[in-house]
Amino acid sequence: MAGPDDADSDERETNPVISGHDVVKEYVTGGETVRALRGIDFRVDPGEFVAIVGPSGSGKSTLLNMLGLLDVPTSGLVELNGLDVETFGDAERTRKRKETIGFVFQSFHLIPTLTAVENVEVPRLLDRTPRKTRDAATDLLERVGLGERLDHYPDELSGGQKQRVAIARALVNEPRLLLADEPTGNLDRDTGDQILAEFDEITDEGVAVVTVTHDDYVAQSADRVVNLIDGTVREDEEAVTG
Protein backbone atom coordinates (compact mmCIF):
# COMPACT_ATOMS: atom_id res chain seq x y z
CA MET A 1 0.00 0.00 0.00
CA ALA A 2 1.06 3.58 -0.54
CA GLY A 3 2.67 5.12 2.51
CA PRO A 4 2.55 8.75 3.51
CA ASP A 5 6.15 9.14 2.29
CA ASP A 6 4.79 8.76 -1.23
CA ALA A 7 3.84 12.41 -1.30
CA ASP A 8 7.50 13.48 -1.11
CA SER A 9 8.80 11.21 -3.83
CA ASP A 10 6.02 12.21 -6.24
CA GLU A 11 6.70 15.92 -6.05
CA ARG A 12 7.87 16.63 -9.57
CA GLU A 13 6.98 19.40 -11.95
CA THR A 14 4.14 17.53 -13.65
CA ASN A 15 1.59 15.07 -12.35
CA PRO A 16 2.08 11.57 -13.74
CA VAL A 17 -0.49 10.15 -16.13
CA ILE A 18 -0.35 6.88 -14.28
CA SER A 19 1.71 5.68 -11.36
CA GLY A 20 2.07 2.54 -9.29
CA HIS A 21 3.38 1.83 -5.82
CA ASP A 22 4.34 -1.61 -4.54
CA VAL A 23 2.22 -3.26 -7.22
CA VAL A 24 1.86 -7.00 -6.84
CA LYS A 25 0.04 -9.25 -9.27
CA GLU A 26 -0.51 -12.92 -8.65
CA TYR A 27 -2.18 -15.47 -10.90
CA VAL A 28 -3.45 -18.85 -9.93
CA THR A 29 -2.75 -21.35 -12.68
CA GLY A 30 -3.21 -25.05 -12.19
CA GLY A 31 -3.43 -24.70 -8.41
CA GLU A 32 -0.13 -22.83 -8.25
CA THR A 33 0.21 -19.16 -7.48
CA VAL A 34 2.43 -17.31 -9.93
CA ARG A 35 3.78 -13.92 -8.84
CA ALA A 36 4.02 -12.00 -12.11
CA LEU A 37 4.83 -8.68 -10.44
CA ARG A 38 6.61 -8.66 -7.10
CA GLY A 39 5.91 -5.21 -5.74
CA ILE A 40 7.10 -2.66 -8.27
CA ASP A 41 6.91 1.13 -8.39
CA PHE A 42 6.41 3.02 -11.63
CA ARG A 43 5.30 6.34 -13.01
CA VAL A 44 4.65 7.61 -16.50
CA ASP A 45 4.76 11.34 -17.22
CA PRO A 46 3.03 13.13 -20.10
CA GLY A 47 5.08 13.20 -23.30
CA GLU A 48 7.39 10.43 -22.19
CA PHE A 49 8.41 7.50 -24.39
CA VAL A 50 9.02 4.55 -22.08
CA ALA A 51 10.18 1.14 -23.22
CA ILE A 52 9.59 -1.89 -21.01
CA VAL A 53 12.07 -4.62 -21.81
CA GLY A 54 12.86 -7.99 -20.30
CA PRO A 55 12.86 -11.67 -21.03
CA SER A 56 9.70 -13.65 -21.58
CA GLY A 57 7.76 -14.29 -18.40
CA SER A 58 9.29 -11.30 -16.67
CA GLY A 59 5.88 -9.67 -16.25
CA LYS A 60 6.02 -7.15 -19.11
CA SER A 61 2.58 -7.91 -20.45
CA THR A 62 1.12 -8.01 -16.96
CA LEU A 63 2.51 -4.56 -16.29
CA LEU A 64 1.12 -3.27 -19.56
CA ASN A 65 -2.31 -4.70 -18.75
CA MET A 66 -2.11 -2.95 -15.40
CA LEU A 67 -1.26 0.36 -17.07
CA GLY A 68 -4.13 -0.18 -19.51
CA LEU A 69 -6.65 -0.83 -16.72
CA LEU A 70 -7.31 -4.20 -18.30
CA ASP A 71 -6.30 -5.81 -15.04
CA VAL A 72 -6.24 -4.79 -11.39
CA PRO A 73 -3.34 -5.43 -9.01
CA THR A 74 -3.57 -8.12 -6.32
CA SER A 75 -2.14 -5.57 -3.90
CA GLY A 76 -0.54 -2.13 -4.16
CA LEU A 77 -1.80 1.13 -5.53
CA VAL A 78 -2.30 2.14 -9.15
CA GLU A 79 -3.37 5.73 -9.74
CA LEU A 80 -4.66 7.09 -13.02
CA ASN A 81 -4.61 10.89 -13.07
CA GLY A 82 -4.31 10.71 -9.28
CA LEU A 83 -7.33 8.41 -8.82
CA ASP A 84 -7.01 4.95 -7.28
CA VAL A 85 -8.14 2.54 -10.02
CA GLU A 86 -9.25 0.00 -7.47
CA THR A 87 -12.20 2.21 -6.63
CA PHE A 88 -13.46 1.86 -10.21
CA GLY A 89 -15.91 -0.83 -11.15
CA ASP A 90 -15.73 -2.56 -14.51
CA ALA A 91 -17.90 0.04 -16.23
CA GLU A 92 -15.91 2.94 -14.81
CA ARG A 93 -12.59 1.37 -15.76
CA THR A 94 -13.91 0.81 -19.25
CA ARG A 95 -14.92 4.45 -19.43
CA LYS A 96 -11.50 5.62 -18.20
CA ARG A 97 -9.82 3.42 -20.80
CA LYS A 98 -11.88 5.05 -23.47
CA GLU A 99 -11.13 8.57 -22.22
CA THR A 100 -7.40 8.35 -21.49
CA ILE A 101 -5.79 5.26 -22.97
CA GLY A 102 -5.06 4.12 -26.51
CA PHE A 103 -3.94 0.59 -27.41
CA VAL A 104 -1.64 -0.68 -30.18
CA PHE A 105 -1.17 -4.44 -30.46
CA GLN A 106 1.52 -6.60 -32.00
CA SER A 107 -0.94 -8.30 -34.35
CA PHE A 108 -2.81 -5.04 -35.03
CA HIS A 109 -6.24 -6.46 -34.13
CA LEU A 110 -8.07 -4.48 -36.77
CA ILE A 111 -11.66 -5.51 -37.46
CA PRO A 112 -11.54 -7.23 -40.85
CA THR A 113 -15.08 -6.27 -41.83
CA LEU A 114 -14.48 -2.56 -41.42
CA THR A 115 -12.53 -0.22 -43.71
CA ALA A 116 -9.45 1.67 -42.52
CA VAL A 117 -11.42 4.77 -41.66
CA GLU A 118 -14.17 2.73 -39.96
CA ASN A 119 -11.55 0.89 -37.91
CA VAL A 120 -10.18 4.21 -36.70
CA GLU A 121 -13.73 5.27 -35.83
CA VAL A 122 -14.42 2.13 -33.77
CA PRO A 123 -13.65 3.59 -30.31
CA ARG A 124 -16.06 6.46 -31.00
CA LEU A 125 -18.63 4.57 -33.02
CA LEU A 126 -21.12 4.41 -30.18
CA ASP A 127 -20.90 8.16 -29.52
CA ARG A 128 -23.49 8.87 -32.23
CA THR A 129 -21.52 11.79 -33.61
CA PRO A 130 -20.84 10.20 -37.00
CA ARG A 131 -19.78 13.36 -38.82
CA LYS A 132 -17.34 14.54 -36.16
CA THR A 133 -15.92 11.06 -35.75
CA ARG A 134 -15.48 10.64 -39.51
CA ASP A 135 -13.61 13.96 -39.71
CA ALA A 136 -11.32 13.05 -36.80
CA ALA A 137 -10.61 9.60 -38.23
CA THR A 138 -9.87 11.02 -41.67
CA ASP A 139 -7.48 13.62 -40.19
CA LEU A 140 -5.62 10.97 -38.22
CA LEU A 141 -5.24 8.64 -41.20
CA GLU A 142 -3.97 11.55 -43.31
CA ARG A 143 -1.52 12.34 -40.56
CA VAL A 144 -0.08 8.80 -40.55
CA GLY A 145 0.17 8.93 -44.34
CA LEU A 146 -2.85 6.81 -45.21
CA GLY A 147 -5.05 9.56 -46.66
CA GLU A 148 -5.28 7.54 -49.87
CA ARG A 149 -6.28 4.32 -48.15
CA LEU A 150 -9.38 5.40 -46.21
CA ASP A 151 -11.75 2.89 -47.77
CA HIS A 152 -9.34 -0.05 -47.94
CA TYR A 153 -10.12 -3.10 -45.87
CA PRO A 154 -7.36 -4.45 -43.56
CA ASP A 155 -6.54 -7.34 -45.90
CA GLU A 156 -5.77 -4.77 -48.61
CA LEU A 157 -3.13 -3.07 -46.44
CA SER A 158 0.50 -3.98 -45.68
CA GLY A 159 1.65 -4.74 -42.14
CA GLY A 160 3.08 -1.27 -41.65
CA GLN A 161 -0.09 0.32 -42.99
CA LYS A 162 -2.22 -1.80 -40.67
CA GLN A 163 -0.13 -0.75 -37.68
CA ARG A 164 -0.50 2.89 -38.68
CA VAL A 165 -4.28 2.42 -38.87
CA ALA A 166 -4.07 0.88 -35.39
CA ILE A 167 -2.10 3.90 -34.14
CA ALA A 168 -4.69 6.24 -35.63
CA ARG A 169 -7.38 4.19 -33.88
CA ALA A 170 -5.51 4.46 -30.58
CA LEU A 171 -5.38 8.25 -30.97
CA VAL A 172 -8.99 8.90 -32.03
CA ASN A 173 -10.16 9.57 -28.47
CA GLU A 174 -7.22 11.92 -27.83
CA PRO A 175 -5.71 9.79 -25.05
CA ARG A 176 -3.07 10.89 -22.57
CA LEU A 177 -1.42 7.49 -22.63
CA LEU A 178 -0.70 5.19 -25.57
CA LEU A 179 0.19 1.58 -24.77
CA ALA A 180 1.93 -0.49 -27.41
CA ASP A 181 2.50 -4.24 -27.05
CA GLU A 182 5.39 -5.20 -29.37
CA PRO A 183 4.25 -2.65 -31.97
CA THR A 184 7.08 -3.52 -34.35
CA GLY A 185 7.12 -7.25 -33.61
CA ASN A 186 5.49 -8.20 -36.90
CA LEU A 187 7.18 -5.54 -39.03
CA ASP A 188 10.46 -5.25 -40.89
CA ARG A 189 13.09 -2.77 -39.78
CA ASP A 190 12.20 0.08 -42.14
CA THR A 191 8.51 -0.16 -41.36
CA GLY A 192 9.32 -0.37 -37.68
CA ASP A 193 11.29 2.86 -38.00
CA GLN A 194 8.24 4.58 -39.46
CA ILE A 195 6.18 3.44 -36.49
CA LEU A 196 8.80 4.73 -34.05
CA ALA A 197 8.81 8.05 -35.89
CA GLU A 198 5.03 8.20 -35.36
CA PHE A 199 5.55 7.60 -31.64
CA ASP A 200 8.08 10.44 -31.51
CA GLU A 201 5.57 12.77 -33.05
CA ILE A 202 2.88 11.67 -30.63
CA THR A 203 5.05 12.25 -27.57
CA ASP A 204 5.84 15.73 -28.86
CA GLU A 205 2.15 16.49 -28.42
CA GLY A 206 2.31 15.49 -24.76
CA VAL A 207 0.94 11.97 -25.10
CA ALA A 208 2.88 9.41 -23.07
CA VAL A 209 3.85 6.27 -24.98
CA VAL A 210 4.65 3.05 -23.17
CA THR A 211 5.79 0.12 -25.24
CA VAL A 212 6.69 -3.44 -24.41
CA THR A 213 9.44 -4.66 -26.74
CA HIS A 214 12.04 -7.26 -27.46
CA ASP A 215 13.82 -5.05 -30.00
CA ASP A 216 17.00 -3.25 -28.97
CA TYR A 217 16.52 -0.47 -31.39
CA VAL A 218 13.04 0.31 -30.11
CA ALA A 219 14.45 0.56 -26.60
CA GLN A 220 17.27 2.76 -27.88
CA SER A 221 14.86 5.33 -29.25
CA ALA A 222 12.94 5.49 -25.95
CA ASP A 223 13.39 8.30 -23.42
CA ARG A 224 13.56 5.79 -20.64
CA VAL A 225 13.92 2.03 -20.41
CA VAL A 226 12.33 -0.05 -17.69
CA ASN A 227 14.09 -3.35 -17.32
CA LEU A 228 11.82 -5.99 -15.89
CA ILE A 229 13.32 -9.21 -14.59
CA ASP A 230 11.31 -11.80 -12.66
CA GLY A 231 8.65 -9.31 -11.74
CA THR A 232 11.00 -6.65 -10.35
CA VAL A 233 12.24 -3.42 -11.93
CA ARG A 234 15.78 -2.42 -12.76
CA GLU A 235 15.71 1.08 -14.22
CA ASP A 236 18.79 1.80 -16.35
CA GLU A 237 19.97 4.50 -18.67
CA GLU A 238 21.34 1.78 -20.92
CA ALA A 239 19.03 -0.78 -22.37
CA VAL A 240 19.65 -4.28 -21.17
CA THR A 241 17.82 -6.59 -23.45
CA GLY A 242 18.03 -10.18 -24.35
Partner 1 sequence: MNFLDRLWGAFPAFLMARRNVARAKTRSALAVAVILIGVVAIGAIGAGGVAFQESQFETLGSIGADIQVFAGEDNENGHLTAADVGRIDRVSGQAEIVPLKQANADVIRGGSTAGSATLYGVEEPSALYEVSEGSIPQNWRKGVLVGSTLADRYDLRPGSKVTLRRTVTEDGETVRRTEEYRVTAVLAQAGQADIANPNEAFVLPPGEFDDDVFAQVIVRSDDATTANETAMQIKRTFNGRRQIVAVFERGDIAEQIDEAFRLINLFLVGIGAISLVVAGVSIANVMLMSAIERREEIGVLRAVGYQKLDIVRIMLAEATLLGVVGSLLGGAVTLGIVAVINDVLLGDPFAFPPGSLQYVVVGMVFGVIASLLAGIYPAWTAARERPVEALRG
Q: Does 28 bind partner 1 (CB under 8 A)?
A: no
# binding residues, partner 1 (CB under 8 A):
33
Cβ 130 to partner 1 shortest distance, Å: 3
The candidate with the shortest Cα–Cα distance to 171, out of 221, 130, 213, 121, is 121
Task: Give me the 90-109 binding string for partner 1, x by CB under 8 A, dash otherwise.
Answer: xx--xx-xxx--xx-x-x-x
Q: Does 14 bind partner 1 (CB under 8 A)?
A: no
Give me the sheet containing 232-236, strands edge to edge: 101-104, 177-181, 208-212, 49-53, 224-229, 232-236
Among 25, 60, 162, 169, binds partner 1 (CB under 8 A): 169
Report d(CA 134, CA 195) in Å as an integer: 23
Binding positions for partner 1, 110-149, rule CB under 8 A: 111-114, 118, 122-123, 125-126, 128, 130-131, 133-134
Side chain identity, residue 62: T
The candidate with the shortest Cα–Cα distance to 104, out of 186, 57, 163, is 163
The candidate with the shortest Cα–Cα distance to 85, out of 5, 23, 35, 173, is 23
Binding site for partner 1 (CB under 8 A): 65, 68, 70-71, 90-91, 94-95, 97-99, 102-103, 105, 107, 109, 111-114, 118, 122-123, 125-126, 128, 130-131, 133-134, 169-170, 173
